[in-house]
Structure 1
Amino acid sequence: MSNETDVTVILPPPAIPLRILSDPAPEPVPRPQGYNGSDLTQKKKKERRMELQGLEVGDPRSTINLLKLGLHNVAQSLPPILRKYGWMIPIILVIWTGLGTFSAYKMMAAAPALAPLWMFLDKIILVLVFLTASYNNFIGKAIYATVVLRVIVPLVRRVRREGFRKVKTNFTSLIPDLQKNWAEVGARSLGILILFAGLAAMISNFLTRNNAIDKIAVSLAIAFAIMKALGDGPRSIPFMTGRVVMNDLFVLLRKPSPVRNHHIYVALSGLTLGFLSSILLAVLRKPLGENIGYILGAIAVVAGLVLIVVMKSKQADA
């Protein structure tokens, strides 16, 4: 009888390839046609460079390019405007000429019996002169006509299309937006506001020639246009112009531009206040003279610059 012992042999497990145990390889992400990773990197670098310069994507790289863009837009938009409103030009010229030459005193001298009628007509003429900027110089008339055609008329159409309640939100948010941007600028906000208000007062004096009440419609129209630009936001033309011009100024100084949209918002708010001050200048014109806008504007500019320098030095010391 044989002694046989059962021996159990334990075999090692079969070798399993590691690629089976690991997660399946992700499928490649589909790339759009024409995709180029280097182009995307260059785009991000360009956006970052423009951000450091205080510019935004789509801004012209210099003031010269900005002027070229403006002239190009004028050349494109002027023919359609002339085709649409060209028939009004002779009428406007006749109105400006007629209102500019009418004199109630000459009429009273020619027909004194109709003196009450001439005085009544004189009041109506003064209102029409104000609304049409008939007494302003050529530059004032051109700016006034441009603001009316490019800002006021489209806004009136928008009100008729969307309703006044929806449109007015662009203007009711101006004060809260000013407070927010004022806080972002910091201590120099007051100096910037006063500086640009003074500049606007001097420009208003130039456009009205003597700050007369019948010539300030152009200043009020400019103030209205700036308020609309503030409501439209950083992509509006005044914001873009401010970014590009200030960047070029600091390029000449060989310094990076510290100007951002919140600085421009405060500056544009100062311009708005300065042009609105034409109402006060019209009141002060009689006791203080026709050049009161230049005088008070120059004082405000100097005061604003002093405040900016003082606040900047205080921040540096702190």
Structure 2
Amino acid sequence: MEWYLPLIWSAIIGVAVILYVVLDGFDLGIGILFPTASDERERDQMMRSVAPFWDGNETWLIMGGVGLFVVFPQAYAVIMPALYLPMIIMLLALVFRGVAFEFRLVSHSKTWWSFAFTAGSTIASFAQGVILGHLIEGITVSNGAFSGGPFDWATPFALLCGLGLMCGYGLLGATWLVMKTEGPVARRARGQAKFFLVLVLAFMAAVSLWTPLMEPRIAERWFSLPNFYFLWPVPSITALTAYLVWRWINEERDAPPFLAAIVLFLLGFAGLVISNFPYLVPPSLTVWDTAAGPASQIFMLMGTLLLLPMIIGYFIFVHWLFRGKVAEGESYH
């Protein structure tokens, strides 16, 4: 087997996952923040700030899932049975959120659709965090197959990650509103961004301490020499980025807090990769153990390298086309 092909595909799927988390994260965050609006007019403004973008953002979730299924079939066969329940809950919540988004824009009575949008966004965010937490903890595997129980994912650490990701999406949503809206919504979002930033830092610290205590392999990866000398910049840059988010919010900057919040997510993702690579199903199956045959990987890679620049170009064009702020009563429609 060509050893480099699983590495290329790991990078592609990793990019798809982080793009999904960042791009769909801010509109899930807006759903989480929806109940804090004072009236339906403000909720309309919040929703319209993401109206041109939200459904395209889920492209990356599909790409990551399909890539895992085709290129790493054994990993897919292990992960899905281990996480069926939170996966189904997440997908149903995303469907619920999407239906509520479309119907609320045209409905005369918006109360129940607003509730559905908030519930779908919150549940989907929590479920994604639980999935991530259980993957970090490790899945029980015997003879290359899942051998655990249907509720192995329901652990304190996974639930902690679920709450942490909800707060992270809340931070992205608040900083997005700072960047894309005007009036009371933007002013309130500045305070919400600071609140969620504190919570995100607390959850990041808890996960960073819990994982090396829970998994000796992670402790060795971070704290053994000479690894420590190379890896200490990651938490240091994270602290600096968090300081910049706080400072730029206080300075009433628009775009910098959102961009810095994205950097926080990228640093958290980098920490997870450092802790777990090359394991795709920690702590037993690596990217090479679970990869499909080289012919399948090359065939998929040809199509992906053709389509990926087109998809990225589309996203850049849409964000450029709908640049600027949404004022009260305005709409992109």
TM (norm. structure 2) is: 0.27
Between Structure 1 and Structure 2, whose CA radius of gyration is higher?
1
Q: TM-score of the superposition, structure 1-length normalised?
A: 0.28
